[in-house]
Structure 1
């Protein structure tokens, strides 16, 4: 069972998220917070696996709350769910330690999948956000595409699909392998390429594909 803490200053949004999560047998909403200060307190008391975090809230905002939660409980996964997908909100949230970034106009299934992926140690991003992250990183990168020796053919396939923005489930379906196998390949890729997260892997994939 994945323990979820919902953080949003709009009660209607929280109610909708709770209904969505409560309908899933593997998700349990353990608490709700209307601002960052309460989120920090509840995260300490309730020990959620995943915190679904809004960013713009009165008082302590979502970025500050994320930083405080992870300082006290580093194993907690904070998944941002926000209306604002611009760089002004995205990069501070990632710097604070958020593991993923979804937009509020995402389909319900994408949010539920994002919560599960976050709990499993993955980094869920809305496709639009991931593409922009990679595009910006490629534009600002210097030097030649990075060569990586020692990748198996299957690891190269997985790396290419990560670069295309596919989730673990989508990669598994595309390659006709299990999700657990995909996770194993991604772990190996991160080790071999010294990449700390999925975004860095996606950037590497784009650099390797560059002419």
Structure 2
């Protein structure tokens, strides 16, 4: 059966380090069926972009100035409960931090993970958004 559903994943990157944002931008732009719809440097900017860009998946740094990723995740999920959020961090034990903050995170990826692992995770979470 043919489907008219758009299979392009709309991805947003949120990190306070410019080099990380730029690197992830390049990694996402090189992928078929992934569209980078926004980049933000803190949680407050991320919330504003979610309202305008409607991403399917967000790669969200946990530790940022202005508003951290843990706080931002709760606001974002209130705006769009279906958006999938990947906590992207160098924190040693992020699962405990995420639990303690009662953050609404769908997956976790350490910043030292291979880029292809992060891309695979984005695609996997994106599939669940597109199926719903």
Identify the TM-score tier after normalising by the shorter chain.
0.7 to 0.9
Whole-angstrom CA distance in 2 between matches of 1:38 and 1:53: 12
- Structure with max Cα Rg: 1
TM-score calculated relative to the size of structure 1: 0.55
Match of 2:97 in 1: 89
Give per-residue Cα distances to partners, 1:27-85, cap 9 Å, x unaligned. 11111000000000001110000010000000111001000000111111111111013
Q: Say which structure is richer in helix.
A: 1
Q: How many Å apart are 1:91 and its aligned residue?
A: 2.1
Corresponding pairs, count: 121
TM-score calculated relative to the size of structure 2: 0.86
Q: Say which structure is richer in strand.
A: 2
Unaligned runs of 5+ in 1: 123-211
1:3–1:48 contact (8 Å) kept in structure 2: yes
What value does the CA root-mean-square deviation take over the aligned residues?
1.5
Whole-angstrom CA distance in 1 between matches of 2:35 and 2:29: 6
Unaligned runs of 5+ in 2: 1-7
1:68-87 matches, cutoff 5 A: 68-86=75-93, 87=95
Higher relative contact order (CA 8 A, sep 6+): 2
